[in-house]
């Protein structure tokens, strides 16, 4: 039995590694064609900052193993027919905003387990996860599902002041919700973690309809990057993101802050400490009471 488990684990790691090599090859091809320099070989690129690209590749493999393991953790509540969007109204702190975490395409609420734990350790309450249907539907339907969820929370608690934090596609959903319902004044801030606000060229290889619509040529991205939200907008992205190509497509021209990092790949946004620090500082900045003006 142990041998079968070890073989299966080794096979999984091999498949993950092979897929990531292909994805990072696309990323390298995209970046290398921005400005051709015959003196800058791929070997020199790997040696950049003491082989940092190699170290980031290994780190992303570790994050992916954790990501896949959390699928199992997420599956357990569903065995007992518990909704992923379930919450206890009595556990929420009145007078504080709701922090809503929105996963990416094919993601699950369990993938925010470490982020939720870190927020709780910093005395940030009212952290809820929102799960939408992945693999089918449209962006508009995802936004509508989020609306229904937040209206349900308001009906049970009377709370409507929210901060939306989305990973990947979740960041797009959060942005479009804030744009669509900005007249309500309920959204205090939107943060995208590796969110392709300008689309991703890699979406041309996607297997699902909603993912293929994330190509940069989709007219909706013109609407997204030209929209100025009536709330704080933060975009955190990484130069080692292997799914958003080019990685700079996560930059939003209307954002209050675009934070470029070099600490993780696309999956690592969910687990990396430096990413969390950026989110935490941003939450504190937009929830800090405004000083009273002198009469």
pLDDT of residue 259: 98
* 266 in Cβ contact with 236 (< 8 Å): no
pLDDT of residue 291: 62
pLDDT of residue 219: 95
pLDDT digits (tens, 9 = 90+) for 22-68: 999 988 888 877 766 666 666 777 777 888 999 999 999 999 999 99
pLDDT of residue 162: 97
Average pLDDT, the chain: 89
Is 233 strand, coil or helix? strand
Distance CA(191)–CA(194), nearest Å, equals: 10
pLDDT of residue 84: 63
Global pTM?
A: 0.92
Is 50 strand, coil or helix? helix
Order of strands, sheet of 187-193, starting from the edge strand that comes earlier in the sequence: 127-130, 98-102, 162-167, 187-193, 232-238, 257-261
pLDDT of residue 295: 54
Stretch 190-218: mean pLDDT: 93
Strands annotated E in the chain: 98-102, 127-130, 162-167, 187-193, 232-238, 257-261
For 45, phi then psi, to 5°, come to -65, -40
Confidence of residue 292 (pLDDT cuts 50, 70, 90): low
CA atoms within 13 A on the CB side of 139: 20
Bridging pattern class, strands 98-102 and 127-130: parallel
Please tell me what DSSP assigns to residue 188.
Answer: E
- Pick from 90-104, 156-170, 185-199: least confident: 90-104
Confidence of residue 294 (pLDDT cuts 50, 70, 90): low
CA distances from 2 to 6, 9, 78, 87 (A): 6, 11, 27, 38
* Of residues 225 and 12, more confidently modeled: 225
Residue 290 has pLDDT above 70, yes or no: no
Confidence of residue 256 (pLDDT cuts 50, 70, 90): very high
All domains of the chain in start order, with CATH: 1-288 (3.40.50.1820)
Residue 206 has pLDDT above 60, yes or no: yes
Which phi-psi region, left, alpha or beta, contains residue 185 (left: φ > 0; alpha: ψ -120 to 50)?
Answer: left
Stretch 66-73: mean pLDDT: 90
pLDDT digits (tens, 9 = 90+) for 109-144: 999 999 999 999 999 999 999 999 876 678 999 999
* Of residues 44 and 178, more confidently modeled: 178
| Alpha-carbon 82 to chain mean position | 24
Confidence of residue 209 (pLDDT cuts 50, 70, 90): confident
Confidence of residue 169 (pLDDT cuts 50, 70, 90): very high
Q: Is the peptide bond before 246 cis (omega within 30 degrees of 0)?
A: yes
Distance CA(279)–CA(165), nearest Å, equals: 9
Is 165 strand, coil or helix? strand
Give the dihedral of Cα atoms 60, 65, 66, 70; nearest 10 deg.
Answer: 130
203: closest CA among 15, 23, 16, 35?
Answer: 23
Distance CA(178)–CA(181), nearest Å, equals: 5
């Amino acid at each position: 039995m142990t041998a079968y488990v070890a073989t299966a684990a080794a096979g999984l790691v091999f498949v993950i590694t092979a897929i990531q090599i292909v994805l990072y090859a696309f990323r390298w091809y995209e970046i290398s064609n921005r400005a051709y320099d015959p003196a800058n070989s791929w070997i020199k690129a790997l040696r950049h900052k003491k082989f940092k690209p190699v170290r980031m590749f290994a780190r992303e493999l570790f994050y992916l193993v954790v990501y896949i393991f959390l699928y199992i953790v997420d599956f357990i509540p569903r065995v007992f027919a518990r909704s992923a969007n379930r919450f206890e109204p009595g556990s929420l702190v009145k007078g504080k905003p709701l922090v809503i975490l929105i996963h990416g395409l094919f993601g699950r609420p369990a993938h925010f387990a470490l982020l939720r734990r870190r927020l709780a350790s910093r005395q940030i309450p009212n952290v809820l996860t929102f799960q939408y249907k992945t693999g089918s539907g449209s962006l508009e339907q995802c936004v509508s599902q989020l609306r229904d969820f937040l209206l349900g929370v308001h009906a049970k608690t009377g709370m409507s002041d929210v901060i939306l934090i989305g990973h990947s596609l979740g960041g797009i959903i959060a942005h479009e919700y804030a744009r669509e319902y900005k007249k309500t004044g309920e959204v205090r801030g939107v943060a995208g973690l590796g969110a392709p606000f300008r689309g991703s060229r890699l979406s041309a290889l996607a297997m699902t309809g909603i993912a293929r619509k994330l190509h940069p040529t989709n007219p909706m991205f013109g609407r997204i990057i030209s929209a100025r939200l009536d709330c704080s907008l933060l975009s955190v992205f990484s130069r080692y993101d292997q799914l958003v190509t080019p990685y700079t497509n996560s930059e939003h021209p209307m954002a209050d802050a675009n934070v470029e990092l070099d600490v993780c790949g696309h999956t690592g946004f969910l687990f990396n400490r430096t990413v969390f620090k950026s989110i935490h500082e941003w939450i504190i900045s937009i929830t800090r009471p405004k000083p009273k003006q002198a009469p």
